[in-house]
Amino acid sequence: MTYRDLELDRRLPEPKPVHFRYDQFEPDTDFEFHIHPWGQLSRINLGLMQVDLEDRKLTAPAEYLIWVPARTAHSAFIRQSAEYVSVYVCDALAHRLPSEGCLIVQSPLARALFDDFCARRVSVMSDEWDVRQAELLIEHLARAGRADSYLPDSEDRQLEPILKALRLDPSDTTPLAEWARRVHGTERTLARRFQAELGMSFIQWRNRVRMLRALAWLKEEVPVHEIAARLNYSTPSAFIAMFRKQTGCSPQRYRLQSTDV
């Protein structure tokens, strides 16, 4: 387990309006609890990142950013080798973002704006266009909405038994119509409740359960084709496509990055 020196964070200049910091982290990088004077967006290029707040955990794959407001105590853990970008946000722009720590999805536009900054390794905003681009990025993220969890839960009387069953057995291929029959509802009603309660479709939620189980099996060195079979994917390529969409890399690359010291 590695503890990173946070002194560099404390020496960073005030963001005007944002400040980018770039790092390459080794597997199992651990940040002890600390506080930043500014709001912070964290981004990785693959795998999963976990940020612990005092009252809850935020776990995000590469398609999400993790937002932590200024002066909010938090620790962080990155399991696999990853390229990491930290964006410190000035108070004026931070007020546009959620008041509590959360996940923010990266839309194609947000990702493109990030990628441009990263490709040029911009840290301090010294160009007027970069300032405008940074303001556009934060405004776009403010409009993207928030997610409190990668795998949200619900106490809804019809959803709860479905979520419990899928957590126990992510390989379950029961279609939504059959679940509706079992919980004495309709497929349309269940579909609406998934969106209203969880912010995603039934298939999206089930894919996330499978993703978390797949990560555990990859750590145990289970072959990719066997993981695909255990999760009832018709072919390994179908599983790989799901995995790549969630993490930004293939299962094999994730495994290599996780063990590459």
What CATH number should be reported for the domain holding residue 85? 2.60.120.810
Residue 150 resides in a domain: no
DSSP letter at 198?
A: I
Residue 36 resides in a domain: yes
Q: What is the pLDDT of residue 54?
A: 87
Q: Give the domain range for residue 59.
A: 2-144
Q: What is the pLDDT of residue 9?
A: 63
Structural domain ending residue among the three candidates 117, 144, 171: 144
pLDDT at 29 over 70: yes
Average pLDDT over residues 140-167: 90
Together in a domain, 244 and 127: no
Together in a domain, 117 and 228: no
pTM (global) more than 0.75:
no
Together in a domain, 168 and 252: yes
Residue 10's pLDDT band, with cuts at 50, 70 and 90, is low
Q: What are the tokens at 145?
A: 């909405």
pLDDT at 159 over 50: yes
pLDDT at 187 over 90: yes
Q: What is the pLDDT of residue 255?
A: 80
Together in a domain, 91 and 219: no
What CATH number should be reported for the domain holding residue 224? 1.10.10.60
Rounded CA separation 254/39 (Å) = 29
Average pLDDT over residues 82-87: 89
Average pLDDT over residues 148-161: 89
Q: What is the pLDDT of residue 3?
A: 39
pLDDT at 84 over 60: yes
Its sign, for the CA torsion 21, 73, 213, 210, is negative
Residue 151 resides in a domain: no
Among 172-176, 211-215, 239-243, name the one with the lowest average pLDDT.
211-215
Together in a domain, 12 and 92: yes
The average confidence (pLDDT) of the chain is 88
- Cβ(68)–Cβ(74) below 8 Å: yes
Domain count, the chain: 2
Together in a domain, 84 and 21: yes
pLDDT at 2 over 50: no
Residue 153 resides in a domain: no
pLDDT at 5 over 50: no
pLDDT at 61 over 70: yes
Among 168-177, 232-241, 242-251, name the one with the lowest average pLDDT.
242-251
User: What SS3 state is found at 53?
Assistant: strand
Q: What is the pLDDT of residue 30?
A: 80
3-state secondary structure string, 76-107? EEECCCEEEEEEEECHHHHCCCCCCCEEEECC
Q: What is the pLDDT of residue 1?
A: 38
Rounded CA separation 100/102 (Å) = 6
Average pLDDT over residues 164-191: 95
